[in-house]
Amino acid sequence: MLLRLISFPVHGALELALGVAVAASPLAFEFGPAGILAAVLIGTTLIGLAVGAAAQGPDRRGISITAHATYDRAFAVALVVAAVLMAIAGESAAVACFAVAALAQSALVATTRYSGGA
């Protein structure tokens, strides 16, 4: 049984931090062109998803929590796929970054209470 310890608003904040870290990772490590493109695309999309989580509430119109949970799982898979593709492209720094991000996203999905309450 998975422990659901993190509330949905905290989840959004952690997902925002993960998105920023992924998008900024080419600045800290030596990524090739493919790694830079993948990191910026995946990172900014994660940031957008996190902002969508912040838009939840009775007077706000964000995506549904169920849809967000589905997107979170899809991003965990997408990060694994990105790591595999970067391995094929020979970009070891990008492989490590995306693998760590996939683990972080998977842990976030496994520990989040997907409900509107705090």
Dump pLDDT digits (tens) for 43-67: 999 999 888 777 665 556 667 888 8
Instruction: Assess if residue 3 is contained within a domain.
Output: no
Instruction: Assess if residue 117 is contained within a domain.
Output: no
Instruction: Assess if residue 105 is contained within a domain.
Output: yes
Of the candidates 45, 110, 107, the one whose C-alpha atom is nearest the C-alpha of residue 78 is 45
The answer to whether the beta carbons of residues 62 and 52 sit under 8 Å apart is yes
The answer to whether the beta carbons of residues 38 and 88 sit under 8 Å apart is no
Cα 99 to Cα 105: distance, rounded to the nearest angstrom = 10
DSSP readout, 4-52? --B-HHHHHHHHHHHHHHHHHHHHHS---HHHHHHHHHHHHHHHHHHHH
Instruction: Assess if residue 116 is contained within a domain.
Output: no
- Residue 85: domain span: 8-111
Paired strand residues for 6: 112
Q: Which residue has the higher pLDDT, 97 or 6?
A: 97
Instruction: Assess if residue 21 is contained within a domain.
Output: yes
Instruction: Assess if residue 92 is contained within a domain.
Output: yes
Instruction: Assess if residue 60 is contained within a domain.
Output: yes
The answer to whether the beta carbons of residues 93 and 35 sit under 8 Å apart is yes
Instruction: Assess if residue 118 is contained within a domain.
Output: no
Number of domains in the chain: 1
The confidence score (pLDDT) of residue 87 equals 95
pTM of the model: 0.85
Residue 1 has pLDDT above 50, yes or no: no
Using one digit for the tens of pLDDT, what is the confidence trace for 64-112? 888 888 999 999 999 999 999 999 999 999 999 999 999 999 999 999 8
